[in-house]
Amino acid sequence: MPEPSSHADSLAAAILRVLRDINARLELDVLLQRIVEAAVAVIPGAQRGSLLVRSGERFRFAAAVGYDLERLKTVELSAKLDPILRQSRQGKVARLRRISQHRGRMPLEVARHLDQYGDATQIRATLAAPLFVGGELYGNLNLDNLEDENAFDAVPDQMVLLFAEQVAAAVENARLYERERRRRQVADTLLEVSGVLASQLNLGKVLELILAQLERVLANDSAALFLLEGDALRVAAALRLAPRGRDRPEEVLSVRVPIEQNALMKELITRRQPIVVSDVQADQRWQAFPGLDQVRSWIGVPLLARGQVIGYLTVGQNQPNAYGPEDGEVALAFAHHAANAIENARLY
């Protein structure tokens, strides 16, 4: 029987071997999946695994081994209610036996989905470690055994944390690479968009083109373009924006909103900077608007032409925390091209 020190040494060597492969991956989605595969391969007792990525106070499944990832992606876990995630926030390795018995105040629907898609009732032992990227909790790596409650007893915490720290560094590299690749892609796309918009001088068609081209640089579930008319803003173009139960977005095109009655509009016009709202349900400035019942994440940017605000552009997604500050900057850069195209069409 090997001595504990030799066992730890061999485990450390195995971890270092797989880390060389992991560090060579730069595509984030591929990297996250490889991390779980490597963890299941080298951590003794691991039969299955998953990786959760943080989005605000929620965590979503981003990679898995032995589970149906596409179905797990529909499940959101709360850091406050999940027993493993509570420990992860403190930077600790979590160990649980029969995880399905530790649900506490977890919503029944979430628990049911974990049973269906994650075989939670079959899991006998779970070992989990937090992934910290840039000093912030990025996600959580979970390893499961479906046969033995003591499967992870011989695995030292320091080895699990070593693995977690090293793969977190690889995640940070991949994020930097992805960010730079995204910047180059957005810059190229914006150049193409400016040419497309400049080629059209009919105002109605320009407005339609703006929202169609917007999807090339910012993913969205809905979008709208408002033009300034006196002391109000009118919906001049809309994409997938319609009152609940209706199919025709043109029904909202006549809507006029007095600026003084809408805090976000007023702020956009006075500050002339992007406003990114992570969750409209938690923002007191948000006011209900026809067709935006499902929106959770929202960006608003002013349309500026010749130094004057002529309107503003909005995009929304139906999931919270979908946009960050960089998305606001992308939206603002796009809005500059859109405003110029609108002014050119008006002059024509």
Angle at 327 between CA 207 and CA 287, to 5 degrees: 70
Write down the pLDDT at residue 46.
93
- Which range among 18-27, 44-53, 296-305, 330-339 shows the weakest confidence by mean pLDDT? 18-27
Residue 17 pLDDT > 50: yes
Nearest to 312 by CA among 266, 254, 281, 261: 266
Residue 190 pLDDT > 80: no
Q: Which strand (E) or helix (H) includes residue 172?
A: helix 157-198
Residue 2 pLDDT > 80: no
What is d(CA 103, CA 119) in angstroms, rounded to the nearest whole number?
14
Dihedral sign for Cα 289, 291, 296, 298, please.
Answer: negative
Average pLDDT over residues 230-246: 71
Write down the pLDDT at residue 61.
93
User: Is residue 245 very low, low, confident or very high in pLDDT (cuts 50, 70, 90)?
Assistant: very low
Nearest to 207 by CA among 178, 238, 163, 249: 238
Residue 266 pLDDT > 70: yes
Q: Which tokens belong to 332?
A: 């603002």
Residue 291 pLDDT > 70: no
Angle at 150 between CA 108 and CA 5, to 5 degrees: 135
Write down the pLDDT at residue 47.
95
Average pLDDT over residues 158-181: 83
- Which range among 7-21, 117-131, 326-340 shows the weakest confidence by mean pLDDT? 7-21
**CA end-to-end distance (rounded Å), the chain:** 86
Write down the pLDDT at residue 290.
66
DSSP at 30: H
User: Is residue 52 very low, low, confident or very high in pLDDT (cuts 50, 70, 90)?
Assistant: very high
Q: Which tokens belong to 245?
A: 């139960």
Average pLDDT over residues 228-251: 68
Average pLDDT over residues 4-8: 52
Write down the pLDDT at residue 265.
85
**Mean predicted lDDT score pLDDT of the chain:** 81
Q: Which tokens belong to 342?
A: 């609108």
Number of CB atoms found within 10 A of residue 53's CB: 17
What is d(CA 340, CA 348) in angstroms, rounded to the nearest whole number?
12
Q: Which strand (E) or helix (H) includes residue 239?
A: strand 232-239
User: Is residue 125 very low, low, confident or very high in pLDDT (cuts 50, 70, 90)?
Assistant: very high
What is d(CA 82, CA 237) in angstroms, rounded to the nearest whole number?
43
CB 302 within 8 A of CB 312: yes
What is d(CA 334, CA 265) in angstroms, rounded to the nearest whole number?
18
Burial class (CB in 10 A: 0-12, 13-18, 19+), 292: buried
Write down the pLDDT at residue 105.
67
User: Is residue 30 very low, low, confident or very high in pLDDT (cuts 50, 70, 90)?
Assistant: confident
Residue 20 pLDDT > 70: no
* Strands, sheet with 76-78, edge to edge from the N-terminal-most edge strand: 76-78, 58-65, 48-55, 136-145, 125-133, 94-97
Average pLDDT over residues 165-178: 83
Domains of the chain: 4-176 (3.30.450.40), 200-347 (3.30.450.40)
Rg of the chain taking only CA atoms, in angstroms: 25
